[in-house]
Amino acid sequence: MSAITLSSEEKSVLDWVDGEGDSMIAAVRRWSGINSGSRNTDGLKAMQAELKDAFSRLDARVETVELAPSETVTPDGEIKPVEYTPALKVSARPDASVRIVLTGHSDTVFAVDHPFQTCRDLDSDTLNGPGVADMKGGLLVMLHGLLALERSPWGKQLGYDVLISPDEEIGSLGSGPVLAQLGARADVGMTYEPALADGSLAGARKGSGNFSLRVKGRAAHAGREHHLGRNAIVAGAAFAKAIDALNGQREAVTINVSRIDGGGAPNVVPDVAVVRFNVRVGDEEDAQWARQGIERAVADINTRDGIIADLHGGFTRPPKPMTPANLRMFEWTREAGRTIGLDLKWNPTGGVCEGNNLWASGCPNVDTLGVRGADIHSDREIAKISSFTEKAKLSAVMLMKFARGEFDAREARTLARAL
Ligand SMILES: [Zn+2]
């Protein structure tokens, strides 16, 4: 690939982005102070009002999208629906021949009663606050990339859909179907998770699944009729041991038993247990291997007298390997970075995000286009102030190159189809 350069029109668009730095930082300070934990409906709605306002600056249609409920297994073994706050969708030029999907999330991992609720300055380049990096800062980067595109002479040549979901930190089970739909009709995807503090991006991502095994036994008095009881916790523990033994057998596969619910008074044989676990895989074959191992363990538990076990959940974020199509997206990102003096690198990660969902629908993407940050999901979360305009310019260059056809987004999509 020969080195790309910037035209004078492109440079003047980037100058405009530089002038937006202070207003981006003012916005992220305000947004960081709005608690939007994934379960805080009022906070998510307040964030959404801010986002609606901010994204209304674009020449695009802004609307809310209802999300279908998902299912959860409660601690006492009931299956219950989980409702979600609607997502925000912003769409422009649905008939454009090149289409991009941009995704992000308005939720954070910090619940409304978490002590970490405000934003402060650690030094002249470092903000510490909930969501400053993950990913309220990233949403501002996305918005300013799009605003920059629209100020350029090529803005009208690109169509896009933005989805800002309220449930990324709890697995995107509500927004998953919408991500799949938008991913299927876009050529390439851009997601705004934070980059590492040194600027490096997440490359290949593992796939992830969350499962719950519901185990039913039979209650009995622990003293008078212990022999008539069928202990669901003991059966569940045997299952936990069996799936834990799958660790270390296949590279890239990990199984984490995370929680066992069940039981009550010491004088009752427990009749319900729920074993919860997370599975990470490197590719589709790993996923099949893991699924078979888990199903064998379920079948084994079901041979126990008086015990019935059923498995819930599944792989919600399939693996995102570094295929030629995804690699092309990274190369373009690096090329765009070079025009503004960045030397971008990427490394594989066991973490998962909406980039996995987009790839599952065949959409090549880069998913760490947000601000530079560190220590996310903790009260030490930081974002680098200088990275807001830096990353908005990176997105602006990429979007302009896609619009002009210098980066051929449809070619990346064709590479993905060739798999
Ligand atoms: Zn995030």
pLDDT of residue 418: 78
Give the distance (Å) from ligand 1 centre to CA of residue 135.
5
In the reported structure, the alpha carbon of residue 371 is separated from the centroid of ligand 1 by a whole-number distance in angstroms of 11
Q: What does the pLDDT read at residue 2? A: 64
Q: Ligand 1 centre and the CA of 368: distance in Å?
A: 9
What is the rounded CA–CA span in Å between residue 356 and residue 320? 5
What spacing in Å lies between the alpha carbon of 193 and ligand 1's midpoint? Answer: 5
What's the 37 CA to ligand 1 centre distance in angstroms? 12
CA of 261 to the centre of ligand 1 (A): 28
Ligand 1 centroid–CA 129 distance in Å is: 14
Please tell me the distance between residue 191's alpha carbon and the centre of ligand 1 in angstroms: 9
The span from the CA of 61 to the CA of 55, in Å, is: 9
CB-based contacts of 204: which residues, under 8 Å, 6+ apart?
282, 319, 320, 321, 322, 326, 348, 349
CB distance 192 to 142 below 8 Å: yes
Quote the ligand 1 centre to 306 CA distance (angstroms): 43
Please give the backbone phi and psi of residue 402, each rounded to the nearest 5 degrees, phi first.
Answer: -65, -45
Q: Give 115 Cα–ligand 1 centroid separation in angstroms.
A: 19
pTM over 0.75: yes
How far is Cα 418 from Cα 328, in angstroms, rounded to an integer? Answer: 14
What spacing in Å lies between the alpha carbon of 120 and ligand 1's midpoint? Answer: 20
Alpha-carbon distances, residue 413 vs 100, 416, 418 (angstroms): 11, 5, 9
Provide the β-strand partners of residue 207.
281
Distance 11 CA to ligand 1 centre (A): 30
Write down the number of H helices and E strands in the chain.
11, 18
Taking the centre of ligand 1 as the mean of its atom positions, its distance from the CA of residue 206, in whole angstroms, is 16
Cα 4 to ligand 1 centroid, rounded to whole Å: 30
Ranges of residues in the chain with a pLDDT under 70 are 1-2, 419
Q: Residue 376 Cα, ligand 1 centroid: separation in angstroms?
A: 8
- At residue 219's C-alpha, the angle toward residues 215 and 220, to 5°, is 150
Ligand 1 centroid to Cα of residue 110, in Å, is 12
Q: Is 197 exposed, middle or buried (0-12, 13-18, 19+ CB in 10 A)?
A: middle
Q: How far does residue 381's CA lie from ligand 1's centre (Å)?
A: 12
Ligand 1 center from residue 385 Cα (angstroms): 18
Q: How far is the CA of 354 from the centre of ligand 1 (A)?
A: 9
Distance in Å, CA 370 to ligand 1 centroid: 9
* Domains in the chain: ranges and CATH: 8-70+84-204+321-417 (3.40.630.10), 207-317 (3.30.70.360)
> 382 alpha carbon to ligand 1 midpoint, in Å?
13
Interval between CA 226 and ligand 1 midpoint (Å) = 48
Who contacts 79 (Cβ-Cβ below 8 Å, separation ≥6)?
71, 72, 73, 312
Within 8 A by CB and 6+ apart from 285, the residues are none
What is the pLDDT at residue 1? 52
Q: Is the peptide bond before 135 cis (omega within 30 degrees of 0)?
A: yes
User: Do the strands 158-165 and 382-384 form a parallel or antiparallel pair, or are they unpaired?
Assistant: unpaired
Residue 294 Cα, ligand 1 centroid: separation in angstroms?
Answer: 29
Question: Closest Cα to residue 129, out of 22, 24, 23, 33?
Answer: 33
**Distance of CA 235 from the midpoint of ligand 1 (Å):** 36
Backbone angles phi, psi at 11, to 5 degrees: -65, -40
What distance in Å separates the CA atoms of residue 9 and residue 153, rounded to the nearest whole number?
8
Give CA–CA dist 190/179, Å, rounded: 12
Distance from the alpha carbon of residue 104 to the mean position of ligand 1, in angstroms: 7
- Ligand 1 centroid distance, CA of 231 (Å): 40
Tell me how far the alpha carbon of residue 66 lies from the centroid of ligand 1, in angstroms.
21
Report how far residue 365's alpha carbon sits from residue 377's, in angstroms, rounded to the nearest whole number. 23
Buried b vs exposed e over 350-380: b needs ≥16 C-beta within 10 Å?
A: ebbbbbbbbbbbebbbbbbbbbbbbebeeee
CA dihedral angle for residue 190, residue 282, residue 361, residue 292, rounded to 10 degrees: -160
Q: 169 CA to middle of ligand 1, Å?
A: 7
